[in-house]
């Protein structure tokens, strides 16, 4: 993996995390999905934010730096008591939001990556 790809990784991961978190914020707007996934105030809990951010980060890291899935990302998800095999796209759940938001960002930015 070349330097341009490595330099894009933190931006991609952070954008995925931001877009997932934005669904549980009053004013934040995600990038490709904008405010489409915004959830009501009653669901904007710290637990939901932590879970959706974790799934978004996991999904993004697994995509851009897959060599560390088994040794780093899966054990971390398990330590956080999240299921790394939950690839749900149900946007009524924090895991689903994290997965969907991350997939949307990665798809949107796919043309940026060159190998």
Residue 70: give the domain boundaries.
3-112
Name the packing angle between helices 46-64 and 3-22 (round to 10°).
Answer: 160
Structural domain tally of the chain? 1
Q: Where are the alpha helices (DSSP H) in the chain?
A: 3-22, 46-64, 74-79, 94-109
Average pLDDT over residues 95-105: 96
pLDDT of residue 76: 97
**Is residue 86 packed enough to be buried (19+ CB in 10 Å), middle (13-18) or exposed (0-12)?**
middle
Q: What is the pTM of this model?
A: 0.89
Per residue in 32-74, pLDDT tens? Answer: 888 788 999 999 999 999 999 999 999 999 998 999 999 999 9
CA-to-CA distance for 61 and 58, rounded, in angstroms?
5
Write down the pLDDT at residue 87.
97
Residue 66 DSSP symbol: G
d(CA 49, CA 67): 27
């Amino acid at each position: 993996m070349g330097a341009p790809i490595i330099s894009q990784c933190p931006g991609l991961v952070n954008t995925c995390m931001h877009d997932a978190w934005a669904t549980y914020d009053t004013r934040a707007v995600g990038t490709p999905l904008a405010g489409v996934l915004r959830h009501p105030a009653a669901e904007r809990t710290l637990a939901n934010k932590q879970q959706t951010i974790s799934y978004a980060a996991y999904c993004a890291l697994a995509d851009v730096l897959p060599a560390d899935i088994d040794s780093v990302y899966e054990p971390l998800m398990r330590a956080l008591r999240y299921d790394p095999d939950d690839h749900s796209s149900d946007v009524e759940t924090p895991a689903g939001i994290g997965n969907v938001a991350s997939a949307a960002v990665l798809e949107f930015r796919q043309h940026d990556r060159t190998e």
